[in-house]
Amino acid sequence: MRYEITGGNLPVVICHLEAGETMITERGSMSWMSPNMRMETSGGGLGKALGRMFAGEAIFQNRYTAQGGPGMIAFASSFPGTIRPLDIRPGEGMICQKSAFLASEVGVELSVHFRKKLGSGFFGGEGFIMQKLSGNGTAFLEIDGSAVEYDLQPGQSLVVDTGYLAAMSETCSMDIQTVPGVKNALFGGEGLFNTVITGPGRVILQSMPLNTVAAVLRPFFPTGNN
């Protein structure tokens, strides 16, 4: 499979497949394709289907296979931002925010990832349930805004505000910390808690979380009383 990502801040990934190669998408994100791409919808079993539902994805997967020769298929992002390719290998999985998964080669498995610590689920802003990408192949993530990446060494940490974490290596750990000082917490405008990511591993942050955009735009939306 070869691919190209184009479109600037409204990105689309165009994948070029050899005969017999298959791509998977969870949310019907196919934008356009060559006529020899065959679609098949599958749940992959009840357990996997429910896991995908809890991870913020659709219960069923769409599988697109090139038949009779090379094929082409494109997947577009649902929000202005970035499409980031991930090279998934055995033992090198990635933990992602809910609904980050866009598409992947058939060798990549999407499953649910539960937070081990209750505190990080309640207050970390990322939720108890995230997505885990494992297996072998290339996967594509939707990033809200621009993507900024860090490679954390063992024991090295990064403090992240709510919603800015897009993905991290499965070797990273996550916890929360309170904003120090009562005045800072109450009047600093940054909330009461931050997420702390500790290495070793790769961390991908996003510059424009969807929940932050929604909060900024909310005052401009008409209410039912007007």
DSSP class per residue in 40-101: EEE---HHHHHHHHHTTS-SSEEEEEE-SS-EEEEEE-SSSEEEEEEEEBTTB-EEE-TT-E
> Is pLDDT above 80 for 167?
yes
Domains, the chain: 2-219 (3.60.160.10)
> Is pLDDT above 70 for 128?
no
What's the pLDDT tens digit per position in 150-159? 999 999 999 9
Is the pLDDT higher at 226 or at 168? 168
What's the pLDDT tens digit per position in 179-214? 655 444 444 445 567 889 999 999 999 998 877 777
> What pLDDT does residue 119 have?
47
Q: Which residues contact 175 (CB under 8 A, 6 or more apart)?
A: 117, 119, 120, 124, 195, 196, 198
> What pLDDT does residue 180 have?
59
